[in-house]
Amino acid sequence: MFFRIIRGAVTRQKQKLLMMACTMALGISLATAMLNVMLDVGDKVNQELKTYGANIMVEPRGASILSDLYGVQEGAGVADKFLLEDELPKIKTIFWAFNIVDFTPYLDVRAGVNGSEHQVTLLGTWFAKHLDIPTGESIDTGINNLKAWWEIRGDRSSQGKWLSDDDETGVMAGAAFAARNALKVGDVIKVAVTDAGGRERAADLTIRSIYHAGDAEDEGLLAPLAVVQRLSGLENKIRRIEVSALTTPENDLARRAAQNPHSLSRHEWEIWYCTAYVSAIAYQIDEVLTDSRAKPVLQVAASEGAILEKTQLLMLLLTILSLACSALAISNLVTANVMERSTEIGLIKALGASDGQISLLVLTEMLIATIIGGIIGYFAGIGLAQVIGQSVFGSAVDIKGLVIPIIAILVLLVTIGGSLPAIRLLLRLRPTEVLHGR
Amino acid sequence: MSKNILELHDVSMIYGPVKALQNITLSVQQGEWLAIMGSSGSGKTTMMNIVGCMNKATHGVVVLDGEKISRLNAKDLTAIRRDKIGLIFQQFHLISYLTAVENVMIAQYYHSLADEKEALEALERVGLGHRARHLPRQLSGGEQQRLCIARALINHPKLILADEPTGNLDEANQETVMNIFHQLHAQGSTIIVVTHSPEVAAHARRVVHLEYGRMIRDEVNVECPAA
Amino acid sequence: MKPQKMYFKIILSSLVRRRSRMVVALLAVAVGATVFLGMGAVYYDIPRQMGREFRSYGANMILVSSGADSNLSLAEASRAEALIPPEKLVGATPFRYETMYYNLQGLTVVGTDMQSARKTSPYWQVQGEWPSAENQLLLGTDISENARLYAGSFVELEIVPPRGRKFKKEFQITGVIRSGGVEDGFVLMPLGAVENLLGQPGRASVIEMSIAADSDELTLLAEKIQAEAPGVTPRLVKRIMNSEATVLSKLQVLVYLVTAVVLFLTMICVGTTMMTVVMERRQEIGLKKAIGAENKSIIGEFLGEGLVLAGVGGLLGIGSGYFFAQAVSMSVFGRGVSLPFFLIALTLAASLVVTVLASLLPVTRATDVEPSLVLRGE
């Protein structure tokens, strides 16, 4: 009989139940979307923060002390240490290889331009180098993605593009350098470099584009790594590597490890090593490159952590608000719905139903509406999350299975929590009062 | 004296296949007390709804106080209902959140102007003066029905329409309500009571019997004491 | 009794005497208004608050000398600083680069304002203490490792002043600084100390400024400084400025979308609740019609109720929404939220519109039904 009443109520009160289910679906879709976005926002924002460029700098061990200081001339016996270019693919073989987004090597030499006395920095790098990794993958990596803030101006043919790595006669000029020497795109300059043996090698290079970095690089020239290596006779040698990696915000453990990884206990060390802390990734890069010293660039790494934490906390709080509100709104609606049916409940009670039976009846009805609404809402919510992911970050939001149980518990709690006070209120009324519409 | 307050000419009410009323012709004079009697499904509530301007008949002509209400639109019907008819329901239908006197005043308010003094007098007349500030749920069934009567009377309607006014009342309360009807009748009000109870119908001066939507008898109640 | 008075009496009675129902309706409106104001305030405040957080990336404008010598006069620089609204200026730190010698090896010594440097370069990690006296310094971590000098120990530096004889002075290393950048190879000491040792007070090589402003504003500020502060050339740190613009705009779109979705859905939830509460009263509407109320009086009464509910619920929601926004802002950013007046007005307006629409829809539907049907409980 119980089921008969339920069936009757469900089929004959279609409209009301439908409205309930629709509202439920809305609330649940909101909760699903918010939870999914919230759980994925860390990864997404982390990707976005890569626009600040490299967060790990790799240099030859022992070379860093005087290399890039103001006014200190290189070649004074301190800076002649190099890393090896052919070891670079190994960076993509470390434990956290998947988190390495981009990296690029640099080799800087002093060069005379068009026979001028005043020497400028000629920087060799990868632009979008295609690499085959020992693990079988292949990637394209280089400076293109690491310097998102650089403005590159070219003429009509180059359209302000980066060089290509196999362009043997091309060069990019820094804006300040170009302005001082009245150079423009398309000009051919003679670049002369004195190699390690003291011999001067020169090449005619065409300026393909002019870059504005807002930094010291504006005073120099940028060329493919191979060209610079050939001119300077430093084949296979590089001075430093910039690495951009997705990292986890640092905590106490990470800070202690950064000072000295060996001060950790075995257990702590394992946790640290297997977490994508910037210090752990730097340590792992150290392990694969000969005589290297990888340092987190704290300006990027630490700030990244701060922004990430704030964003995640913000989203968490907004999610809690929207969850609480949709819970309140739904339970409120359930309450309103139950109250509306006071006459019916009074009648059933007059017919001799016990309070327990009535509560069960109402709850079952509400749950049916809720479950239908919940299922629809869940899928609608996934859709909403994707809309948000696509329109904000241009990539799909990762759907977490964790959301389903959270939603299920939420729905149950909300429905029961919304029904019970209303049912209690109605049960307190005497059946005659309800029936007589008082 | 013998002016017709209500005339029904060949009135029918058909809901799809159901013929709720068929070819009813009836006239009611001013000051008459008429009972419409019949069992459930005889069409008496339908008739009351038509007369009370809450439904329009599908066929036929209804004239209330000289106006052909069967040709009026919903808005004008509302106005007629407000000005000429006092309705009393079996289920009382009071507004739960208004006190007794406010329930009376709301009828005044929709009609013209709410006048608390007049409303209190009306309650006095049905013996509810001491309960004026109570909410409907604090009143007994009889009191609620008397409140309904007070509300129905407040705008001095041409016609009082009561649908099973004692259906939800015990005998003592039925007695009280009937006494009020007798007083109203004595004062010259026109009353139509719809009922299935011969006991209630017996108070009326004229009884119309309905069966399956047809009028089968129209008799004058000879036993009536004050005929 | 005046009609208005009766009108208010009806509305008030309905609100006060149908308490449990009205609480439900009120709660619905209040929840809606809370979300509206809370999310609205957070969304509105995001650029300002997040912009501040992005200052942890450090300076976004530097001042250099426009003259031929690379030294900047601090007096001229402070005129430039004065052009920046003080509430936007997170910090301005002078840096003076000099060379001193340790064991005959040249070291870059940076004289700076330690207090201010902590604001403009919050990412510096110092192991030990920051220097507080003129004979104290911070050692870059690379130097510390190479020279095996650590926090707490003393170091003797040889100083060659522009005029006069070179001399030696002992310093206490209060801490080791680590940044992953050039600072790792520097020695940092208070600007006053450098001035005392080498003379030429009131000069700096560069001034780093951290300004809470977006790129358009920064560009304007830079132009203003260029035009109005002689001797000073401002340079924008493109990397910081442009990247911040990119990331911040994404974050703002994110919060915008989330806010839009939450608002839309909440408003619908509020609407359906209001509709349910009103639909319950079809009988009452039927009765009122039966006793002669015109449709417009009935609608007017529900409108009045709706307005009161929306007003009270809206005000409650504004209170709790502000509380919520404040709580979010305090716990995420550690700063209070700024609440513009138009947002409050908008919240009230939204509450009114949603409530009135949601209650009028079922009322007009109920008034269209013939009262006899409603009264019979169909």
Residues C304-354 pLDDT 10s: 888 998 999 999 999 999 998 999 889 888 888 888 899 999 999 999 998
Bridge-based pairing state of the strands A56-60 and A292-296? antiparallel
**Residues above pLDDT 90, as percent of chain A:** 10
**Contact assignment for A438 to B168 by CB distance below 8 Å:** no
With residue C359 as reference, give the H or E element that holds it: helix C341-368
**Closest to A396 measured CA to CA, from A26, A40, A30:** A40
Contact call for B91 and A438, based on CB within 8 A: no
* Confidence at A73, pLDDT banded by 50, 70, 90: very low
Compute the half-sphere exposure of residue B82: CA atoms within 13 Å on the CB side of its CA: 21
**Has residue C142 got a pLDDT over 50?**
yes
Set of chain A residues whose Cβ sits within 8 Å of the Cβ of B141: 436
Strands (E), C22-131: 61-65, 72-73, 89-102, 105-112, 125-128
Q: How confident is the model over B116-154, as pLDDT tens digits? A: 898 999 999 888 889 989 988 888 888 998 899 999 988
pLDDT of the residue at A2: 67
pLDDT reported for residue A380: 92
Contact yes or no for B141 and A436 at CB 8 A: yes
Where b means 16+ CB within 10 Å and e means fewer, B58-94 reads: eebebbbbeeebbebeeeebbebbbebbbbbbbbbbb
**Mean pLDDT, rounded, for C118-124:** 89
What was the pLDDT predicted at A10?
Answer: 64
Domain map of chain C by residue range? Answer: 3-53+246-375, 60-236
Contacts of C235 in chain A (CB under 8 A): 214
**Residue-level pLDDT at B190:** 92
Q: What is the mean pLDDT of residues C247-267?
A: 84
| Assigned token pair, C296 | 């417009």
Chains that touch B (3 or more CB pairs under 8 A): A, C
Among candidates B115, B110, B62, B58, which has minimal Cα distance to B86?
B110
What does R_g of chain B's alpha carbons equal in angstroms?
17
Token look-up 């910037």 returns: A278
Cβ–Cβ < 8 Å for C191, C180 = no
**C96 phi/psi in degrees, rounded to 5:** -125, 115
A163-195 residue pLDDT tens: 888 888 889 999 888 888 888 888 899 988 887
- Cβ A295 vs Cβ A67: under 8 Å: no
Number of B–C residue contacts, CB under 8 Å = 87
Which pLDDT score, from 0 to 100, does residue A160 have?
62
- Does the pLDDT of residue A75 top 50, yes or no? no
| Residues in chain C within 8 Å Cβ distance of B144 | none
Closest-CA residue of chain A to B95: A438
Report d(CA C120, CA C109) in Å as an integer.
Answer: 19
| pLDDT band at residue B19 using 50, 70 and 90 as cut-offs | confident
Q: Which of A53, A317, A392 lies nearest to residue C328, judging by beta carbons?
A: A317
Q: Does position C67 have pLDDT exceeding 80, yes or no?
A: no
Instruction: Determine if residue A195 is left, alpha or beta; phi over 0 gives left, psi from -120 to 50 gives alpha, anything else beta.
Output: beta
**Residues A381, A28: contact at Cβ < 8 Å?**
yes
**Which residue in the set A30, A67, A332 is minimally distant from C265, CB to CB?**
A30
Min Cα–Cα distance to chain C from A226, Å: 26
Q: What does the pLDDT read at residue C163? A: 79
pLDDT given for residue A63 in this prediction: 57
| Least confidently predicted of A67-76, A227-236, B43-52, C304-313 | A67-76
State residue A185's pLDDT score.
Answer: 87
Residue of A nearest to C329 (CA): A314
A314 and C58 in contact by Cβ < 8 A? no
Quick one: pLDDT at residue A69? 42
Cα of C342 vs its chain's centroid, Å: 18
Q: What is the pLDDT of residue C335?
A: 85
Residue C378 has pLDDT above 50, yes or no: no
- Residue given tokens 């005129």 in the structure block: C79
Please report the pLDDT score of residue C318 as a whole number: 93
Domain boundaries, chain A: 2-46+305-435, 70-245
Structure tokens at B18: 């159901």
Q: Tens digit of pLDDT for each residue in B43-58? A: 888 888 888 888 888 8
Two tokens at B159?
């016609």
Contact B4, B29 (CB under 8 A): yes
Q: What is the mean pLDDT of residues A391-406?
A: 87
Q: How much of chain B exceeds pLDDT 70, in percent?
A: 96
Tell me: pLDDT of A93 over 50.
Answer: yes
Q: Would you say residue C23 has pLDDT above 80? A: yes
Phi, psi of B188 (to 5 degrees): 100, 10
A433 with B137: Cβ contact below 8 A? yes
Tokens of A158: 């180059």
CA distances from B152 to B52, B105, B162, C62, C288 (A): 12, 11, 9, 86, 12
Helix A298-340 × helix C295-333 angle, to 10°: 150
Whether B94 contacts B136, CB under 8 Å: yes
A with C: how many residue pairs have Cβ under 8 Å apart? 231
Least confident window among A258-267, C75-84, C187-196: A258-267
Question: How far is residue C194 CA from its own chain's centroid?
Answer: 37
In degrees and rounded to multiples of 5, residue B73 shows phi and psi of: -85, 175
C373 band by pLDDT with thresholds 50, 70 and 90: low
Q: Are A333 and A415 in contact (CB under 8 A)?
A: no
Least Cα separation, residue A27 to chain C (angstroms): 7
Q: What are C276's two structure tokens? A: 């349910």
> Which one has a higher pLDDT value, A436 or C202?
C202
Selected for mutation to probe chain A from C99, C263, C269, C316 (highest A CB count within 10 Å) is C269
For residue range C202-245, list pLDDT tens digits in order. Answer: 888 899 999 988 888 899 999 999 888 888 888 888 888 888 88
Q: Which of B76-85, B92-101, C366-375 has the lowest mean pLDDT?
A: C366-375
Distance CA A281, CA A73 (A): 32
A364: part of which helix (H) or strand (E)?
Answer: helix A355-393
CB B159 within 8 A of CB B5: yes
Average pLDDT on C275-292 reads 82
pTM: 0.78
Q: For residue A435, is pLDDT > 70? A: no
CA distances from C215 to A231, B31, C123 (A): 39, 89, 22
Query: Which structural domains are found in chain B, ordered by start?
Result: 30-59+73-220 (3.40.50.300)
3-class secondary-structure state, position B5: strand
Within a 13 Å sphere around the CA of C350, how many CA atoms are in the beta-carbon half? 24
pLDDT per residue as tens digits for the range C30-50: 988 998 898 888 888 888 888
A41–C332 C-beta distance less than 8 A? no
Cβ atoms of A415 and A366 closer than 8 Å: yes
Beta bridge partners of C156: C170
Q: Tell me the mean pLDDT in the region A330-352.
A: 75
- Tell if the CB–CB gap between C291 and B83 is shorter than 8 Å: no
In chain C, the percentage of residues whose pLDDT exceeds 90 is: 19
Phi, psi of B37 (to 5 degrees): -115, 150
Instruction: Please give the pLDDT value at position B226.
Output: 47
Looking at residue A400, the DSSP 8-state letter turns out to be P
Residues with Cβ < 8 Å from A437, sequence gap 6 or more?
A343, B91, B92, B93, B96, C283
What chain C residue is nearest to A340 in terms of C-alpha separation?
A: C280
Q: Are A396 and A386 in contact (CB under 8 A)?
A: yes
**Residue range A204-219, pLDDT digits in tens:** 999 888 998 888 888 8
| Chain C interface test: which of B21, B44, B110 (most C C-beta within 10 Å) | B110
- What is the distance, to the nearest Å, from the Cα of residue C317 to the centroid of all Cα atoms in its chain? 22
Please answer whether residues B162 and B44 qualify as being in contact, where contact means their C-beta atoms are separated by less than 8 angstroms.
no
Determine phi and psi for B162, rounding to 5 degrees.
-120, 125
The packing angle between helices A342-350 and A355-393, to 10°, is 150
Contact A436 B93 (CB under 8 A): no
- pLDDT of B80: 86
pLDDT in tens, A127-164: 988 988 888 888 889 888 888 888 888 766 656 688 88
B139-198 residues touching A, CB cutoff 8 A: 141, 168
Instruction: Please tell me if residue B93 touches chain A, with a CB cutoff of 8 Å.
Output: yes
